[in-house]
Structure 1
Amino acid sequence: MEYRKSGLSLNHVQGCPLDCAYCIRHTYGLWDSRKPTALMSDAEAVELLVRHRYFRPHTTPLQIFNRATDPLLPGVKDHLFVCLEDLDGRGLTNHILIITRFILKPEDRERLNALANLKVTLLFTYSGITDKRIEPFASSIAAVSMKLASELRPRRYRTVFYWRPLVPGLNDSPEHLATAAELSKHADAAVFTGLFYRGEIADYYKANGLPEPYEGTARRKIVPETLEQRVLEAFAHAEGSAVLFRKTSCAVAYAHGLPDYNGHYGIRELCDICPVRQLQLCAGAHNIPTARQLQEAVVDLPEAAGLMVLDVTERAAQVEGLPDEQPRYFLQHRFAFQIHDAGHPHLLNRHGRAEIGWEQPA
C-alpha cells in the first residue's frame, strides 16, 4: 500500500505485460515483472487496507491496482471484483479509482454497477501515441472500453477520459487534440496530464534508443505551458466535449457531483476552467484548518512526528519535517485542503507541475 495524491493505493497484485515505456513501474523496480502475481489473498489485502493507519471509512479516497498492473487484465480482474465487493459489502462509501487501458466487457460494467455503496470511478487512460516502441498496446482499446462503460444507463459508477501522458512532438498535433476532444464526449469528465519523466524512465529510454522527450528529468509531471494552452483551446472549440480538468481528483469529484477531496479550490488559478456549479460546491466545502488541527491529526503517525506547520492561508498550508509525501496526502484528504511541502513549492500558475517548459518567475 502507498498513499498517493489521488488516494490510498492497494497493489497486492503486481506485474503487467502491456510494456508502456513510460510506466511508473520503472521507479518501483517492477519493470521486469510482466506476469500478474498476487502477493497475498484478496481478503488479507482488504483487511490490511481497512486497518491501515491512513484509512478512514467513508473519507479516504482509494485506488486499486494503479501502480504495478492493469486492473482489467486477465488474472487481475477477478481480484479487482473480489476486493470491490468486499469493500462495498462493508457499507463503505469511499471514492475508489480504477485506472485502466485494457478491455472492459459488458458483464464487467454490470458487475460494477451492482456495487451499492462505493463511489466508483473508471479512468480510461488514453494517449493517442502510435509509436509501438513507446506504447505497444493501442490507445483505441481504452477508447472502446470507455464508450461501452459510459453507454450503460442508469449507472452508479462514473467514467473519466484520462488523457495522458501528453508529450510535445509525440501526441500533441492538432489531429491528436481534436480526436481527444471528440472522444471525451463519451465520458462524464476529462482530465489531462503530462509525463512522469524520472531517472529510471530516462535510463530505459536511452538504453533502448527511444526518442527522449525532454533533456532533463523532473520530480513532477511535465506539461509545458504552451502545450496546456493548446489543450485548453482545443477543448474550448470542440462542441459537446466533456468538462476538462487539470487535476484527477477534480474530474472524479465533478463526475460524482461532489466537491474536490484534494481541496484544490484554494489554488484558485486551477479553477478557471471549472463550471460555475462545481466552483460553488468546492467553495462551500472549503474550510481552512488551523495549525493545531493539523498537528493533532497526525499525533498517531510516528512518521509525522517532525511535522512543522509554517503557515496556513486560504490557499494552502505550508509544512516541513515530513519524511515523504504519504502523511502529507493523509492530511490533505483529512481536511480536503491543500498541504504543500515548503521544500517543493507550488508556484503561481504552474499548477504543481515540473519547471520544464515554463518560464521562470521573475
Structure 2
Amino acid sequence: MPVPLLSEDRISQLPPRAQEVVEYRKSGLSLNHIQGCSLGCGYCIRHTYGLWDENKPVALMSDAQAVEQLVGHRYFQSHVTPIQVFNRATEPFLPRVPHTFAVLEDLDERELTNHVLVITRHQLNEDDIDRLDQLSHIKVTLLFTYSGIDDKRIEPYPSHVAAESLKLMSSPRIRKYRTVLYWRPLVPGLNDTDEHLAAAHELSKHADATVFTGLFYRDEIAAYYKANKIPEPYQGTARRKIVPEELEARVLEAFSNSAALFRKTSCAVSYVHGLPDYNGHYGVRELCDICPLSQLELCAGAHRTPTVEELHQVASVLPDTRTLKVIDITDRAALVSGLESEQPRYFLQHTLGFQIHDELHPHREKRHGRAEIGWTENLA
C-alpha cells in the first residue's frame, strides 16, 4: 500500500531542500519524493535537510509524477545520467515503501540504460531477487550500508541485517543487478578495531565490489550528537567525508589481498557493470592505485581531456552555468569557478566522464576529495 500523500499546503511547510524532489549529487541525480525513515541512524544525512524528526514515510507526489519530473529534469540525460533512488530521505526497502520497485520498473519500461543506485541497510528477501532480475534495461546496483557499529545511540538498526541481505542478494550465480558492500561510516575509535576490519573483509567476499568511506560530520549532525550526549568523533565538522590518513592505511592493509576495493562509489558501481568510471576519476591517478588492472585499462581507454571550448559547449545547455569560468584543464581535472552550486558541476562531470573541480573547494593531492581532518601537512 502506498504511503500517505502530503497536501500541497503541508509540502509548502517543509524545509526548502526537502521540497526539492530531484537533486544532483556526485554519484547521481537523486530522486526523493518519499521522505521519512524509522531506522534512526544518528549520522543520517536527513539531519541536514530538516527531516530528522520525520520517521513515518510520506509522499510528496505519486511515483509516476516523480519519475516524470526526474526524466524531464534539466540535468537528466537518457542512458548517461546516473540515478539514485531514495538515498537521502528514506530507506528504500522499508516494508512501508513499495515505491522503490514502482520507480525502478517505470524507468526500466522506458528502456533506459542509465546506472541506478539503490542504497539500503534493510532486510531483503527472495522475492526481491526475482523482481530485480526482471529489470532488463537499467543497470541496477544495490549498495549495502554496513558499519559494524554496535552503539545503539548511533545505529539502533543492527548492521548484521545489511550483512545478511548482502549475502542473500549476492548468492545467485547469474543475475542482472550487482551488489556492493558499502562499508561506511568508518570512524576511528568506534568501528575500526582489527576485528571490525577483519569482519568487513570477510563480508566483502560476498559482494561484487567494496567501497569504504568515512563520516559526513556536518554541523547539524554534530549538534545532534551533543544534544544526545553521544561521544563526538572529531573536534570539528567538514563538508566532505572524513577518512583520516592512518585509518585509510589500516583499511588498505586489511584488504591487501582484495580484488575489488574502491575509494569512490562511482568507481565500484562502474566496475561491477564492466564500464569505465562515469565520474572520470582516472585523471586523479593516486585514487587508482588499489583498482583492478582490468578496470584501470577500461578507464584509461575512456579517459579523454576536454578542451575549454568543449566544456563551454556542454555547459551551454544549462541556464545555471552562464557565469562558468574555466581556469585550467589538465589530464587530471578541469578547474572551474562561477558556479552557484555543485549540481551543474556534476552534470558537466557525468556528461564528459571527466573530473570537474571547483576553485572554491580544492581537491588536495592524496586526500581523494575528502576532508582535511586527520591528514598530515606534508601531503598538501
State the AA in 1 paired with 2:139: K
Q: Is it true that 1:22 corresponds to 2:39 in the alignment?
A: no
Counterpart in the other structure of 1:10? 31
1:252 match: secondary structure = helix
Counterpart in the other structure of 2:106? 86
Task: Structure 1: state its 5+ residue gaps.
Answer: none
Question: Is this contact kept in 2: 1:8–1:60, CA < 8 A?
Answer: yes
For 2:229 and 2:53, how far apart are their aligned partners in 1? 18
How far apart are residue 299 of structure 1 and its match?
1.5
Question: Is this contact kept in 2: 1:185–1:242, CA < 8 A?
Answer: no
2:168 match: secondary structure = helix
**1:217-236 paired onto structure 2 within 5 Å:** 217-236=237-256
Q: Is it true that 1:318 corresponds to 2:338 in the alignment?
A: no
Q: Which moved more, 1:291-300 or 1:313-322?
A: 291-300
For 2:222 and 2:346, how far apart are their aligned partners in 1? 27
State the AA in 2 paired with 1:9: S
1:136 match: secondary structure = coil
How far apart are residue 305 of structure 1 and its match?
1.0
Q: Is it true that 1:75 corresponds to 2:75 in the alignment?
A: no
TM-score for both structures, normalised by structure 1 = 0.98
**1:44-83 paired onto structure 2 within 5 Å:** 44-76=65-97, 78-83=98-103
State the AA in 1 paired with 2:75: Y
Counterpart in the other structure of 2:280? 263
Counterpart in the other structure of 1:178? 198
How far apart are residue 291 of structure 1 and its match?
1.1
For 1:153 and 1:277, how far apart are their aligned partners in 2? 21
For 2:323 and 2:47, how far apart are their aligned partners in 1? 30
Identity %: 70
How far apart are residue 94 of structure 1 and its match?
0.2
Kindly report structure 1 stretches of 4+ aligned residues shifted beyond 6 Å. Answer: none
Deviations 1:132-172 (A, max 9, x none): 00000000000000000000231000000000000000000
Counterpart in the other structure of 1:197? 217
Task: Structure 2: state its 5+ residue gaps.
Answer: 1-21
For residue 33 of structure 1, the aligned residue among 54, 61, 77 is 54
Alignment coverage as a number of residue pairs? 358
For 2:150 and 2:316, how far apart are their aligned partners in 1? 49
How far apart are residue 334 of structure 1 and its match?
0.3
Question: Is this contact kept in 1: 2:259–2:292, CA < 8 A?
Answer: no
2:224 match: secondary structure = helix
For residue 207 of structure 1, the aligned residue among 227, 231, 243 is 227
1:236 match: secondary structure = coil
For 1:242 and 1:131, how far apart are their aligned partners in 2? 31
Counterpart in the other structure of 1:307? 324
TM-score for both structures, normalised by structure 2 = 0.93
State the AA in 2 paired with 1:229: A
Counterpart in the other structure of 2:370? 353
Question: Is this contact kept in 2: 1:188–1:242, CA < 8 A?
Answer: no
